[in-house]
Amino acid sequence: MVSGERAHVYVSGQVQGVFFRDSARDKAEQLGLTGWVRNLPDGRVEMLFEGPSEKVREMARWCKEGPSRAEVESVDSEFETPRGDLAAFEVR
């Protein structure tokens, strides 16, 4: 069994075109997390990441702020058991 935690996060607000995905990748790599981030057609950003629980929770808190140009209105997070099927953190 893989230890740690996995989070599936949707971020709403002014979060596209403000370097949210690149900043998320940088933060995730800094924290040693694996996963991915992508823009959704409805204007939200979707992320899936996993790693040590405390690092996953720190990343989830970061999503509430995002990069300096972002205006985050809401964050919906679901925490799950990690699967260990993510090799790196990528922008999709």
Domain locations along the chain: 5-91
For the question of residue 69 being annotated catalytic, the response is no
For the question of residue 21 being annotated catalytic, the response is yes
The pLDDT value recorded for residue 2 is 64
Vertex 77, ends 51 and 85: CA angle to 5°? 35
Of 25, 38, 39, 57, which is the active-site residue? 39
Query: What is the architecture, at CATH level 2, of domain 5-91?
Result: 2-Layer Sandwich (3.30)
Instruction: Write the DSSP string, 59-71.
Output: HHHHHTT-STT-E
pLDDT in tens, the chain (92 residues): 567 999 999 999 999 999 999 999 999 999 999 999 999 999 999 999 999 999 999 999 999 999 999 999 999 999 999 999 999 999 99
Walk across the sheet containing 5-14 and list its strands. Answer: 71-80, 5-14, 45-51, 34-39, 89-91
Of 21, 44, 57, 61, which is the active-site residue? 21
Q: What is the C-alpha to C-alpha distance for residues 51 and 59, in angstroms, rounded to an integer?
A: 10
Q: Does the global pTM surpass 0.75? A: yes
The pLDDT value recorded for residue 1 is 52
The pLDDT value recorded for residue 82 is 92
Helix or strand (DSSP H, E) at 42: none
The pLDDT value recorded for residue 41 is 98
